[in-house]
Structure 1
Amino acid sequence: MMNDLKAKEIMTVDVKTVKKDDTVSDVAKMLIQDKIGGLPVVDEDNKVIGIISETDILKKEKYIEPPRVINFLQGLIFLDDMKNLEKDLKRIAAYKVEDLMTEDIVTVHEDDKFDDVANVMIKKSINRVPVVDDDGKIKGIICRYDIIKSLYGDK
Protein backbone atom coordinates (compact mmCIF):
# COMPACT_ATOMS: atom_id res chain seq x y z
CA MET A 1 0.00 0.00 0.00
CA MET A 2 2.74 2.51 0.98
CA ASN A 3 4.85 1.25 -1.92
CA ASP A 4 2.44 2.94 -4.32
CA LEU A 5 2.73 6.39 -2.71
CA LYS A 6 5.13 8.90 -4.21
CA ALA A 7 6.87 11.86 -2.58
CA LYS A 8 4.56 14.31 -4.33
CA GLU A 9 1.56 12.67 -2.67
CA ILE A 10 2.76 13.13 0.90
CA MET A 11 4.80 16.33 0.67
CA THR A 12 3.75 19.72 1.97
CA VAL A 13 3.43 21.90 -1.12
CA ASP A 14 3.00 25.28 0.52
CA VAL A 15 6.68 25.42 1.39
CA LYS A 16 8.23 28.51 2.92
CA THR A 17 11.73 29.17 1.69
CA VAL A 18 14.51 31.66 2.37
CA LYS A 19 17.36 33.10 0.35
CA LYS A 20 21.03 32.99 1.32
CA ASP A 21 21.07 36.78 1.84
CA ASP A 22 18.18 36.75 4.35
CA THR A 23 19.13 37.54 7.92
CA VAL A 24 19.38 34.89 10.60
CA SER A 25 17.10 37.03 12.75
CA ASP A 26 14.35 36.98 10.10
CA VAL A 27 14.67 33.21 9.72
CA ALA A 28 14.44 32.70 13.48
CA LYS A 29 11.25 34.78 13.54
CA MET A 30 9.78 32.66 10.70
CA LEU A 31 10.60 29.43 12.53
CA ILE A 32 8.93 30.72 15.69
CA GLN A 33 5.89 32.18 13.94
CA ASP A 34 5.25 29.13 11.77
CA LYS A 35 6.27 26.60 14.45
CA ILE A 36 8.62 24.76 12.09
CA GLY A 37 12.12 23.41 12.58
CA GLY A 38 13.83 24.38 9.36
CA LEU A 39 13.57 25.99 5.94
CA PRO A 40 14.99 25.22 2.52
CA VAL A 41 17.35 27.85 1.13
CA VAL A 42 16.77 28.54 -2.57
CA ASP A 43 18.54 30.61 -5.21
CA GLU A 44 17.00 33.08 -7.67
CA ASP A 45 15.79 30.18 -9.87
CA ASN A 46 14.08 28.45 -6.91
CA LYS A 47 16.71 25.69 -6.87
CA VAL A 48 17.50 24.25 -3.45
CA ILE A 49 21.01 25.23 -2.31
CA GLY A 50 20.78 24.44 1.41
CA ILE A 51 18.74 24.11 4.57
CA ILE A 52 18.76 26.27 7.66
CA SER A 53 17.36 24.75 10.83
CA GLU A 54 16.80 25.62 14.44
CA THR A 55 19.88 23.50 15.20
CA ASP A 56 22.01 25.70 12.93
CA ILE A 57 20.76 28.79 14.75
CA LEU A 58 21.37 27.21 18.16
CA LYS A 59 24.96 26.42 17.14
CA LYS A 60 25.40 30.14 16.48
CA GLU A 61 24.79 30.79 20.15
CA LYS A 62 27.24 28.22 21.47
CA TYR A 63 30.08 29.12 23.83
CA ILE A 64 33.51 29.19 22.22
CA GLU A 65 36.29 27.55 24.14
CA PRO A 66 39.40 29.75 23.92
CA PRO A 67 42.34 27.99 22.27
CA ARG A 68 44.88 26.38 24.55
CA VAL A 69 48.36 27.82 24.10
CA ILE A 70 51.79 27.53 25.63
CA ASN A 71 54.37 30.27 25.78
CA PHE A 72 57.66 28.99 24.43
CA LEU A 73 60.72 31.19 23.83
CA GLN A 74 58.63 34.38 23.78
CA GLY A 75 56.18 32.95 21.24
CA LEU A 76 52.80 31.29 21.41
CA ILE A 77 52.24 27.74 20.30
CA PHE A 78 48.59 26.87 19.71
CA LEU A 79 47.65 23.40 20.87
CA ASP A 80 44.21 23.36 19.27
CA ASP A 81 43.14 23.27 15.65
CA MET A 82 42.73 26.90 14.55
CA LYS A 83 40.33 25.92 11.75
CA ASN A 84 37.73 24.84 14.33
CA LEU A 85 38.13 28.14 16.17
CA GLU A 86 37.77 30.01 12.89
CA LYS A 87 34.57 28.11 12.05
CA ASP A 88 33.13 28.77 15.52
CA LEU A 89 33.92 32.49 15.28
CA LYS A 90 32.33 32.72 11.85
CA ARG A 91 29.22 30.95 13.11
CA ILE A 92 28.82 33.27 16.10
CA ALA A 93 29.29 36.36 13.94
CA ALA A 94 26.84 35.06 11.34
CA TYR A 95 24.34 37.57 10.13
CA LYS A 96 23.21 36.02 6.85
CA VAL A 97 21.66 32.63 6.15
CA GLU A 98 24.61 31.62 3.94
CA ASP A 99 26.90 31.77 7.00
CA LEU A 100 24.87 29.16 8.91
CA MET A 101 23.01 27.03 6.38
CA THR A 102 23.88 23.42 5.72
CA GLU A 103 24.89 23.11 2.07
CA ASP A 104 25.51 19.37 1.89
CA ILE A 105 21.87 18.34 1.91
CA VAL A 106 19.75 15.43 0.81
CA THR A 107 16.89 16.05 -1.59
CA VAL A 108 14.36 13.65 -3.07
CA HIS A 109 12.59 13.74 -6.39
CA GLU A 110 8.84 14.28 -6.51
CA ASP A 111 8.39 10.85 -8.13
CA ASP A 112 10.48 8.93 -5.55
CA LYS A 113 8.66 6.16 -3.70
CA PHE A 114 7.42 6.66 -0.14
CA ASP A 115 9.61 3.83 1.18
CA ASP A 116 12.74 5.32 -0.41
CA VAL A 117 12.03 8.73 1.11
CA ALA A 118 11.36 7.30 4.57
CA ASN A 119 14.48 5.14 4.41
CA VAL A 120 16.77 7.98 3.39
CA MET A 121 15.43 10.14 6.23
CA ILE A 122 16.03 7.35 8.73
CA LYS A 123 19.49 6.38 7.43
CA LYS A 124 20.70 9.99 7.28
CA SER A 125 18.94 11.00 10.55
CA ILE A 126 17.33 14.01 8.96
CA ASN A 127 14.12 15.71 10.02
CA ARG A 128 13.10 17.20 6.69
CA VAL A 129 13.92 16.66 3.05
CA PRO A 130 13.19 19.07 0.19
CA VAL A 131 11.32 17.57 -2.76
CA VAL A 132 12.60 18.75 -6.15
CA ASP A 133 11.75 18.35 -9.82
CA ASP A 134 14.10 17.34 -12.65
CA ASP A 135 15.70 20.81 -12.62
CA GLY A 136 16.39 20.82 -8.88
CA LYS A 137 13.64 23.35 -8.23
CA ILE A 138 11.67 23.06 -5.00
CA LYS A 139 8.26 21.45 -5.30
CA GLY A 140 7.61 20.68 -1.64
CA ILE A 141 9.07 19.37 1.59
CA ILE A 142 8.62 16.18 3.56
CA CYS A 143 9.08 16.20 7.33
CA ARG A 144 8.97 13.29 9.74
CA TYR A 145 5.45 14.44 10.58
CA ASP A 146 4.39 13.83 6.96
CA ILE A 147 5.79 10.29 7.09
CA ILE A 148 3.95 9.46 10.32
CA LYS A 149 0.75 11.07 9.05
CA SER A 150 0.94 8.95 5.88
CA LEU A 151 1.37 5.79 7.92
CA TYR A 152 -1.11 6.38 10.71
CA GLY A 153 -3.34 9.30 9.73
CA ASP A 154 -6.99 8.92 8.88
CA LYS A 155 -7.45 7.38 5.48
Structure 2
Amino acid sequence: MNNKRAKDIMTTNVVVAKKDDSISDVAKILITEKIGGLPVVDDENRVIGVISETDIIKKEKYIEAPRFINFLQGMIFLEDMNKLEEDIKKVAAYKVEDLMSTDIAKVYEDDVFDGIANIMIKKSINRVPVVDKDNKLKGIVCRYDIIKSLYNE
Protein backbone atom coordinates (compact mmCIF):
# COMPACT_ATOMS: atom_id res chain seq x y z
CA MET A 1 0.00 0.00 0.00
CA ASN A 2 1.25 3.45 -0.96
CA ASN A 3 0.78 6.02 1.82
CA LYS A 4 1.66 9.02 -0.30
CA ARG A 5 -0.84 11.83 -0.70
CA ALA A 6 -1.81 14.00 -3.65
CA LYS A 7 0.56 16.76 -2.50
CA ASP A 8 3.47 14.27 -2.59
CA ILE A 9 2.97 13.13 -6.17
CA MET A 10 1.25 16.04 -7.94
CA THR A 11 2.82 18.35 -10.49
CA THR A 12 2.58 21.90 -9.18
CA ASN A 13 3.71 23.78 -12.27
CA VAL A 14 0.38 23.31 -14.06
CA VAL A 15 -0.38 24.63 -17.53
CA VAL A 16 -3.96 25.90 -17.43
CA ALA A 17 -6.62 27.22 -19.79
CA LYS A 18 -9.19 29.97 -19.27
CA LYS A 19 -12.77 29.66 -20.49
CA ASP A 20 -12.27 32.39 -23.11
CA ASP A 21 -9.14 30.82 -24.64
CA SER A 22 -9.58 29.62 -28.20
CA ILE A 23 -9.55 25.92 -28.99
CA SER A 24 -6.85 26.70 -31.55
CA ASP A 25 -4.57 28.04 -28.77
CA VAL A 26 -5.34 25.09 -26.50
CA ALA A 27 -4.59 22.60 -29.31
CA LYS A 28 -1.20 24.28 -29.83
CA ILE A 29 -0.43 23.94 -26.09
CA LEU A 30 -1.46 20.27 -26.04
CA ILE A 31 0.78 19.55 -29.02
CA THR A 32 3.74 21.62 -27.79
CA GLU A 33 3.61 20.31 -24.21
CA LYS A 34 2.76 16.76 -25.34
CA ILE A 35 -0.12 16.54 -22.88
CA GLY A 36 -3.68 15.33 -23.31
CA GLY A 37 -5.60 18.01 -21.41
CA LEU A 38 -5.61 21.08 -19.20
CA PRO A 39 -7.55 22.21 -16.16
CA VAL A 40 -9.70 25.26 -16.87
CA VAL A 41 -9.56 27.92 -14.15
CA ASP A 42 -11.37 31.20 -13.51
CA ASP A 43 -9.69 34.49 -12.60
CA GLU A 44 -9.34 33.37 -8.95
CA ASN A 45 -7.58 30.15 -10.04
CA ARG A 46 -10.64 28.03 -9.12
CA VAL A 47 -11.12 24.91 -11.22
CA ILE A 48 -14.21 25.16 -13.41
CA GLY A 49 -13.53 22.34 -15.86
CA VAL A 50 -11.06 20.37 -17.94
CA ILE A 51 -10.39 20.66 -21.67
CA SER A 52 -8.87 17.59 -23.30
CA GLU A 53 -8.03 16.35 -26.75
CA THR A 54 -11.09 14.09 -26.41
CA ASP A 55 -13.36 17.13 -25.87
CA ILE A 56 -11.97 18.68 -29.03
CA ILE A 57 -12.23 15.49 -31.11
CA LYS A 58 -15.83 14.93 -29.92
CA LYS A 59 -16.91 17.95 -31.94
CA GLU A 60 -17.37 15.54 -34.84
CA LYS A 61 -20.64 16.97 -36.10
CA TYR A 62 -18.40 19.52 -37.81
CA ILE A 63 -15.62 17.14 -38.70
CA GLU A 64 -17.18 13.95 -39.95
CA ALA A 65 -15.05 10.85 -39.69
CA PRO A 66 -13.19 9.58 -41.60
CA ARG A 67 -12.20 12.86 -43.26
CA PHE A 68 -10.29 13.91 -40.16
CA ILE A 69 -8.49 11.29 -38.11
CA ASN A 70 -6.40 11.54 -34.95
CA PHE A 71 -6.33 15.29 -34.33
CA LEU A 72 -3.19 15.59 -32.20
CA GLN A 73 -1.08 12.82 -33.67
CA GLY A 74 -1.30 14.27 -37.16
CA MET A 75 -4.02 14.52 -39.76
CA ILE A 76 -5.02 12.13 -42.48
CA PHE A 77 -6.89 13.90 -45.26
CA LEU A 78 -9.29 11.69 -47.15
CA GLU A 79 -11.66 14.03 -48.95
CA ASP A 80 -11.99 17.59 -50.19
CA MET A 81 -9.18 19.62 -48.57
CA ASN A 82 -11.06 22.94 -48.67
CA LYS A 83 -14.09 21.53 -46.88
CA LEU A 84 -11.88 19.87 -44.30
CA GLU A 85 -9.99 23.10 -43.72
CA GLU A 86 -13.27 24.98 -43.18
CA ASP A 87 -14.41 22.34 -40.68
CA ILE A 88 -11.15 22.55 -38.73
CA LYS A 89 -11.34 26.35 -38.65
CA LYS A 90 -14.89 26.14 -37.27
CA VAL A 91 -13.77 23.95 -34.37
CA ALA A 92 -10.60 26.02 -33.84
CA ALA A 93 -12.76 29.14 -33.48
CA TYR A 94 -14.65 27.67 -30.51
CA LYS A 95 -13.84 28.87 -27.02
CA VAL A 96 -12.74 26.53 -24.24
CA GLU A 97 -16.03 27.01 -22.36
CA ASP A 98 -17.93 25.65 -25.40
CA LEU A 99 -16.16 22.28 -25.36
CA MET A 100 -14.76 21.77 -21.84
CA SER A 101 -16.02 19.09 -19.47
CA THR A 102 -17.47 20.58 -16.30
CA ASP A 103 -18.53 17.37 -14.52
CA ILE A 104 -15.01 16.47 -13.48
CA ALA A 105 -13.27 14.55 -10.73
CA LYS A 106 -11.11 16.59 -8.34
CA VAL A 107 -8.99 15.55 -5.39
CA TYR A 108 -7.56 17.38 -2.38
CA GLU A 109 -3.91 17.75 -1.36
CA ASP A 110 -4.29 15.30 1.54
CA ASP A 111 -6.20 12.63 -0.40
CA VAL A 112 -4.37 9.31 -0.32
CA PHE A 113 -2.68 7.66 -3.27
CA ASP A 114 -4.98 4.62 -3.44
CA GLY A 115 -8.09 6.79 -3.54
CA ILE A 116 -6.67 8.96 -6.33
CA ALA A 117 -5.58 5.93 -8.38
CA ASN A 118 -9.04 4.35 -7.94
CA ILE A 119 -10.83 7.51 -9.10
CA MET A 120 -8.66 7.68 -12.20
CA ILE A 121 -9.18 3.99 -13.01
CA LYS A 122 -12.95 3.95 -12.34
CA LYS A 123 -13.58 7.12 -14.33
CA SER A 124 -11.05 6.21 -17.07
CA ILE A 125 -9.37 9.60 -16.79
CA ASN A 126 -5.74 10.49 -17.40
CA ARG A 127 -5.46 13.49 -15.10
CA VAL A 128 -7.17 14.88 -12.02
CA PRO A 129 -6.83 18.43 -10.66
CA VAL A 130 -5.74 18.82 -7.05
CA VAL A 131 -7.63 21.62 -5.27
CA ASP A 132 -7.80 23.21 -1.82
CA LYS A 133 -11.01 23.65 0.20
CA ASP A 134 -11.86 26.77 -1.86
CA ASN A 135 -11.57 24.80 -5.14
CA LYS A 136 -8.36 26.65 -6.04
CA LEU A 137 -5.91 24.71 -8.18
CA LYS A 138 -2.87 23.45 -6.28
CA GLY A 139 -1.57 20.89 -8.77
CA ILE A 140 -2.47 18.03 -11.05
CA VAL A 141 -1.99 14.27 -10.84
CA CYS A 142 -1.56 12.46 -14.16
CA ARG A 143 -1.30 8.74 -14.82
CA TYR A 144 2.42 9.31 -15.26
CA ASP A 145 2.61 10.62 -11.65
CA ILE A 146 0.81 7.49 -10.42
CA ILE A 147 3.20 5.16 -12.26
CA LYS A 148 6.24 7.16 -11.18
CA SER A 149 5.09 7.01 -7.56
CA LEU A 150 4.63 3.24 -7.71
CA TYR A 151 8.15 2.65 -8.95
CA ASN A 152 9.97 5.35 -6.96
CA GLU A 153 9.20 4.14 -3.46
Q: Shared fold (TM-score greater than 0.5)? A: yes
Structure 1 position 27 matched with structure 2 position 26: yes
Mapped partners of 2:117, 2:92: distance in 1: 35
State the shift of 1:40 in Å: 0.2
In the alignment, which residue of structure 2 is the partner of 1:110?
A: 109
Alignment of structure 1 residues 1-150 onto 2, 5 Å: 1-2=1-2, 4-61=3-60, 62-63=63-64, 92=91, 95-150=94-149
Mapped partners of 1:146, 1:127: distance in 2: 10
Mapped partners of 2:37, 2:19: distance in 1: 14
CA RMSD of aligned residues (A): 1.7
Amino acid at match of 2:39: P
Aligned residues: 127
Give aligned-pair identity as a percent: 69
Amino acid at match of 2:16: T
**Residues 108 and 133 in structure 2, CA contact (< 8 A), matched pair in contact too:** yes
Q: Secondary structure at the residue paired with 1:51?
A: strand
Amino acid at match of 1:119: N
The superposition leaves residues 42-92 of structure 1 with CA deviations (integer Å, 9 ceiling, x where unpaired) of: 01110000000011111224428xxxxxxxxxxxxxxxxxxxxxxxxxx95
In the alignment, which residue of structure 2 is the partner of 1:79?
A: none
**Residues 41 and 52 in structure 1, CA contact (< 8 A), matched pair in contact too:** yes
State the shift of 1:93 in Å: 8.0
**Residues 24 and 92 in structure 2, CA contact (< 8 A), matched pair in contact too:** no
Q: Secondary structure at the residue paired with 1:140?
A: strand
**Residues 5 and 114 in structure 1, CA contact (< 8 A), matched pair in contact too:** yes
State the shift of 1:146 in Å: 0.5
Q: What is the TM-score with the length of structure 1 in the denominator?
A: 0.77
Amino acid at match of 1:33: T
In the alignment, which residue of structure 1 is the partner of 2:70?
A: none
Q: Which has the larger radius of gyration?
A: 1
**Residues 94 and 100 in structure 1, CA contact (< 8 A), matched pair in contact too:** no
Q: What is the TM-score with the length of structure 2 in the denominator?
A: 0.78
**Residues 130 and 140 in structure 1, CA contact (< 8 A), matched pair in contact too:** yes
Amino acid at match of 1:104: D
State the shift of 1:152 in Å: 1.4
